[in-house]
């Protein structure tokens, strides 16, 4: 049995089969192509993280039935990844009864019918991809619950069902509170190399999400926030940071719970999302990303940058043009 799957350097394919503007098969057929995956491989990546929203895979009626077309998009991405020797992480970004950006509606965790539908979705994916190598499943993106117990319970059922069908399949588990590093300690742990653990890192939000239209306190900032530099006088995220120097040490302090988790448990970690919004000055994007990559490298943390194309964080724009060659060179760790 193959155990474990090393995901070291990757890129998210956000905006393709997840967080799309409209449910549009022309978009699904054109947004990402063979040439995009070839370019990602040429950049030196070893995998892609593919976010997928459940309506891609399920028919509208009856709910819970599956669409051949949706699975064909996954098959196409897998074939491209295999062609260019990339591993694939399929991330269920939005599930029936839970979506990360409307997290107060979390009926998935208290409605048995939705829990069974979630389980059925994953067992169907397991059957469809049975025995495929260099493929991992991320069960759900950015869980947000008062505590981790309901998530741990559901995870246990899904893991058992997947491994009963496909014993070699690697499964990725994310932490609570939108995959925060300090929530890793509350995850149910498995003495099993097939189970991988992930978190997301967008600290500090005042840098990574400056002028983001979906974060009201940051949307109308009067000035750009530079990095490195002093934390601005914005107390929405806590006054204790105001005036502190945002630098590599500042980033490491917020990463420390993840480092503590690794030391205590002996588990390796994977950062499934990190990045800086394109509203930020390019120097800030480059400097922040350089420090994060340095920290990940120092502590043996694999990663996938958010995101490849457009989506406010893109390395390429909607036309596929690279937004900044120096940023790409840094992420690919090539010499200029």
Predicted local distance difference test score (pLDDT) of residue 336:
43
Q: Kindly tell me if the per-residue pLDDT of 334 is higher than 90.
A: no
Q: Kindly tell me if the per-residue pLDDT of 81 is higher than 80.
A: yes
pTM, two decimals, is 0.96
Predicted local distance difference test score (pLDDT) of residue 147:
93
Over pLDDT 90: what percentage of the chain? 87
Residue 157 annotated among the catalytic residues of the structure: no
Give Cβ neighbours of residue 163 (< 8 Å, ≥ 6 apart): 169, 171, 194
Predicted local distance difference test score (pLDDT) of residue 2:
41
Which of 142, 188, 191, 222 is catalytic? The answer is 142
- CATH top class, domain 9-204+251-332: alpha beta
Residue 142 annotated among the catalytic residues of the structure: yes
Q: Kindly tell me if the per-residue pLDDT of 239 is higher than 90.
A: no
pLDDT digits (tens, 9 = 90+) for 2-11: 457 999 999 9
Distance CA 292, CA 29 (A): 33
Predicted local distance difference test score (pLDDT) of residue 171:
98
pLDDT digits (tens, 9 = 90+) for 48-67: 999 999 999 998 767 677 88
335 confidence band (pLDDT: 50, 70, 90): very low
Give the domain ranges of the chain: 9-204+251-332
Mean pLDDT of 276-286: 97
Q: Kindly tell me if the per-residue pLDDT of 1 is higher than 60.
A: no
Mean pLDDT of 133-153: 96
Which of 138, 188, 273, 321 is catalytic? The answer is 273
pLDDT digits (tens, 9 = 90+) for 175-195: 999 999 999 999 999 999 999
Distance CA 253, CA 117 (A): 39
Distance CA 14, CA 315 (A): 11
Distance CA 57, CA 54 (A): 5
């Amino acid at each position: 049995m193959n155990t474990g799957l090393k995901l070291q350097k990757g890129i998210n394919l956000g905006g393709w089969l997840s967080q799309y503007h409209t449910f549009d098969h022309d978009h699904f057929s054109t947004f990402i192509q063979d040439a995009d995956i070839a370019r990602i491989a040429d950049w030196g990546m070893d995998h892609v993280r593919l976010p997928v929203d459940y309506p891609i895979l399920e028919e509208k009626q009856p709910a819970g039935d599956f669409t051949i077309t949706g699975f064909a998009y996954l098959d196409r991405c897998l074939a491209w990844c295999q062609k260019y020797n990339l591993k694939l992480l399929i991330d269920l970004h939005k599930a029936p009864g839970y979506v990360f950006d409307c997290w107060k509606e979390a009926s998935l965790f208290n409605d048995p019918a939705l829990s069974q539908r979630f389980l059925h979705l994953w067992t169907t994916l397991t059957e469809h991809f049975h025995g495929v190598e260099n493929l991992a499943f991320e069960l759900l993106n950015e869980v947000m619950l008062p505590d981790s117990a309901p998530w741990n319970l559901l995870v246990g059922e899904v893991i058992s069902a997947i491994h009963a069908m496909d014993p070699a399949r690697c499964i990725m588990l994310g932490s609570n509170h939108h995959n925060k590093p300090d929530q890793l300690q509350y995850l149910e742990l498995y003495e099993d190399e097939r189970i991988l653990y992930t978190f997301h890192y967008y600290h500090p939000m005042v840098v990574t999400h400056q002028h983001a239209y979906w974060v009201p306190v940051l949307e109308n900032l009067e000035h750009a926030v530079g990095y490195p530099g002093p934390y601005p006088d914005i107390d929405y995220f806590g006054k204790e940071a105001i005036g502190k120097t945002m630098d590599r040490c500042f980033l490491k302090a917020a990463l420390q719970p993840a480092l503590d988790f690794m030391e205590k448990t002996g588990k390796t970690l994977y950062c499934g999302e990190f990045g800086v919004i394109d509203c930020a000055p390019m120097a800030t994007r480059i400097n922040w990303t350089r420090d994060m990559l340095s920290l990940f490298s120092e502590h043996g943390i694999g990663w996938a940058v958010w995101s490849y194309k457009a989506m406010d964080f893109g390395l390429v724009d909607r036309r596929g043009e690279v937004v900044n060659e120096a940023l790409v060179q840094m992420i690919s760790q090539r010499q200029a």
